[in-house]
Structure 1
């Protein structure tokens, strides 16, 4: 089973850097959907990813459709604060499954037209109504580690 983190048109370089570090530490692949709101050579990305940046498995795609075409058998989950299910309600333990967690832009999320017909794959993390959303890099870490917990933390010490 492979875990994939998909950032749809990310805008904040430090979030992408932090997520890249989490991906490396968990064996997840990071997918970046263009256009990006920064250059991946940006010092803020590399600073957040520290000296690990060069070791992260990163793939870039021009669109979500390009990602879907490259991984047609993947299981895609869209992380949004209006998701129809909690992230803990999904079974991520199938060792044969490639799981893709898709996260939207920090300011506006995933465009609703891209989610049409995918409502059952929209997941959310429970939180109070005192904030609009959690930080993107924190959210990615929560979701990745839930999937790994269900798998028994394979190849991790």
Structure 2
């Protein structure tokens, strides 16, 4: 099936543009959960995504609740600094499954109720205490490439 990058209320257009480029280059779907902190016509968003926008498989959602309404719990991974396990300890090898990696907004992360509702689905990227969190576009790339590596990079030049 597919890998899905889900951005909950992203705020920085350059991050979303960089993530769109990763999405286009890996064939992963990009889901944007509104409200966005910028216009999709923003020149920084377009510049960061360069000329790859026509290749981005993108879907917009009105809210996180609307997005989650029809998703299977076992296919959701909420990426948060307070996650209960490292992203690399999860098994993403089943290529017949969809995997959704949900990332929070740059300044606040995911809503607090998510960790309470999905404690076993919260994953993290290891880091030291010198920063609050890693850059969103970097974190997305790390997680997506871990899943792709486990699946032997399907459909990609290797």
TM-score range, shorter chain: over 0.9
> In structure 2, how many angstroms separate the alpha carbons of the residues matched to 1:27 and 1:55?
8
Give the conservation status (yes or no) of the 8 Å contact 1:73–1:98. Answer: no
Aligned match of 1:115: 115
How far did residue 70 of structure 1 move? 4.5
> Once the 2 structures are TM-superposed, how far is the Cα of residue 127 of structure 1 from its aligned partner?
1.0
> Which ranges in structure 2 are unaligned for 5 or more consecutive residues?
none
CA 1:74–1:86 in structure 2 vs 1: closer, same or farther (change >3 Å)? closer
TM, length-normalised to structure 2: 0.95
| Distance in 1 (alpha carbons) for counterparts of 2:150 and 2:114 | 28
Task: Answer yes or no: is 1:136 the counterpart of 2:139.
Answer: no
How far the C-alpha of 1:50 sits from its partner, in A, is 0.2
Asked if 1:47 is matched to 2:47, the reply is yes
User: 1:57-98: CA deviations, max 9, x gaps?
Assistant: 110000122212344477110001110000011000111211
Q: Structure 1 pair 80/12, CA: closer, same or farther in 2 (3 Å)?
A: same
Aligned residues: 157
Q: Give ranges in structure 1 of 5+ residues lacking alignment.
A: none
Change in Cα spacing, 1:45 to 1:74, as seen in structure 2 (3 Å) is farther
Q: Deviations over 1:12-62 (max 9, x none)?
A: 000000000000101100000000000111101000000111221110000
